[in-house]
Amino acid sequence: MGNILMIVEHKDGALKKVSLPGISFAKQYTQKTGGEVHLLVMGHNLGAVVEQAKCYGAQKVFVADHESLGAYLTETYAQVAARVAKESGAEVVGAISTSMSKDLLPRLAAKLEAGMASDILSVTDQGWFTRPVWAGNAVVEVEITTPVKVVTVRGTEFEKAPKGDPASGQVNVDVAIDMGAVKKRFVRFEEIKSDRPELTEASVIVTGGRGTKGEEGFKLVEGLADLFNAAVGATRAAVDAGWVPNDLQVGQTGKVVAPDVYFAIGVSGAIQHLAGMKGSKIIVAINKDEEAPIFSVADYGLVADLFKAVPELVEEINKARAS
């Protein structure tokens, strides 16, 4: 007993790196409880993904590979995951916080009659979890009182699991879903492609806010990002205005990031934005308003007009690197 089942995600035939800290969390947890680490991969044509998933030292990888799982539907995935959770003797079922797990795990928890803790940061000595509430302005210790416990895990709080031996055992899951009973249909996925690193993977992030005033200003943000092979982030204001895709929103209700360096350009530093980036190692803020709250968290703050300062910064960095 005391096993933990972590759902891992994949895309285009590869395991998503974003899932790797979840495996570290699972190992840490089972060190305390003595159970096994199990991974669950769901989808269709999973061959390569399964091979990758087996390389991280989990005892078992459960594989639900079936055409009915080819497109993600909460209802079908929850059905399959619930069955695997029961059969594998999972005491904890978890996943890294992503848009998929946020959608899926509460429904799964309901199926398992399990209490769920969202976005956990750590495990306490009693086996409780800590998690942020009120946009991260408070952290609460929560005790899940049900036999099975469901958690989403904040990826920035755990190291990416390294590859490890021995290869995991594979357990193929019998997928039997009555699609007729599923009252939802997948229509299409509208993918927004980007050549940049993902926000959750990049070691440098350059974020633009309303101060960039539009796509022109955002080009400056991108120019700076190019120098670091950085991911580009945005505030809600910039996303709402339609300057950048929705999934670049950093904050309480968007992505939570903790890169080595975070540049906030024309960002005021609202509570909801700070919730998503104040774990960054170094924060650089450029804002023309010296009272902007972003300066209260910035390691380096520059009060300046971004339309002047950012091009200058790009030039100076190029110079500094050349010398």
Structure tokens at 310: 């950012």
CB of 98 to other proteins, least distance (A): 6
CB of 91 to other proteins, least distance (A): 14
Structure tokens at 38: 């199990």
- DSSP codes, 79-115: HHHHHHHHHTTEEEEEEE-SHHHHHHHHHHHHHTT-E
Instruction: Select 18 or 26, whichever has its Cβ closest to other proteins.
Output: 18
Q: Which range touches ligand FAD (CB under 6 A), out of 79-87, 192-200, 265-273, 315-323?
A: 265-273
163 binds, among ligand FAD, other proteins, none (CB under 5 to 8 A by kind): none
Structure tokens at 286: 């450029």
111 binds, among ligand FAD, other proteins, none (CB under 5 to 8 A by kind): other proteins
Angle at 161 between CA 159 and CA 162, to 5 degrees: 115
The structure tokens 């055409």 sit at 67
204 binds, among ligand FAD, other proteins, none (CB under 5 to 8 A by kind): other proteins
Q: Which range touches ligand FAD (CB under 6 A), out of 108-116, 122-130, 166-174, 231-239?
A: 231-239
Query: Which of 127, 272, 302, 314 forms a contact with ligand FAD (CB under 6 A)?
Result: 272
Query: Which of 209, 259, 279, 301 forms a contact with ligand FAD (CB under 6 A)?
Result: 209
Angle at 296 between CA 292 and CA 300, to 5 degrees: 95
Instruction: Select 72 or 170, whichever has its Cβ closest to other proteins.
Output: 72
Rounded CA separation 218/226 (Å): 12
Cis peptide before 311 (omega within 30 of 0): no
128 binds, among ligand FAD, other proteins, none (CB under 5 to 8 A by kind): other proteins
289 binds, among ligand FAD, other proteins, none (CB under 5 to 8 A by kind): ligand FAD
3-state secondary structure of 297: coil
Instruction: Select 169 or 282, whichever has its Cβ closest to other proteins.
Output: 282
Instruction: Select 171 or 302, whichever has its Cβ closest to ligand FAD.
Output: 302
268 scored as a contact of ligand FAD (CB under 6 A): yes
CB of 18 to other proteins, least distance (A): 8
Q: Which range touches ligand FAD (CB under 6 A), out of 118-126, 155-163, 170-178, 288-296?
A: 288-296
Q: Alpha-carbon Rg of the chain, whole angstroms?
A: 21
The count of residues in the chain is: 323
Query: Which of 248, 267, 285, 313 forms a contact with ligand FAD (CB under 6 A)?
Result: 267
- Distance from chain centroid for Cα 195: 18
Instruction: Select 214 or 311, whichever has its Cβ closest to other proteins.
Output: 311
273 scored as a contact of ligand FAD (CB under 6 A): yes
Label residue 127 left, alpha or beta by phi (over 0 means left) and psi (-120 to 50 means alpha): left
Nearest to 25 by CA among 88, 94, 90: 94
CB of 166 to other proteins, least distance (A): 32
Q: Is 127 exposed, middle or buried (0-12, 13-18, 19+ CB in 10 A)?
A: middle
3-state secondary structure of 40: strand
Instruction: Select 53 or 277, whichever has its Cβ closest to ligand FAD.
Output: 277
The secondary structure of residue 294, as a DSSP letter, is: G
Residues that bind ligand FAD (CB under 6 A): 209-211, 235-238, 249-254, 266-268, 270, 272-273, 276, 287-289, 292, 305-307
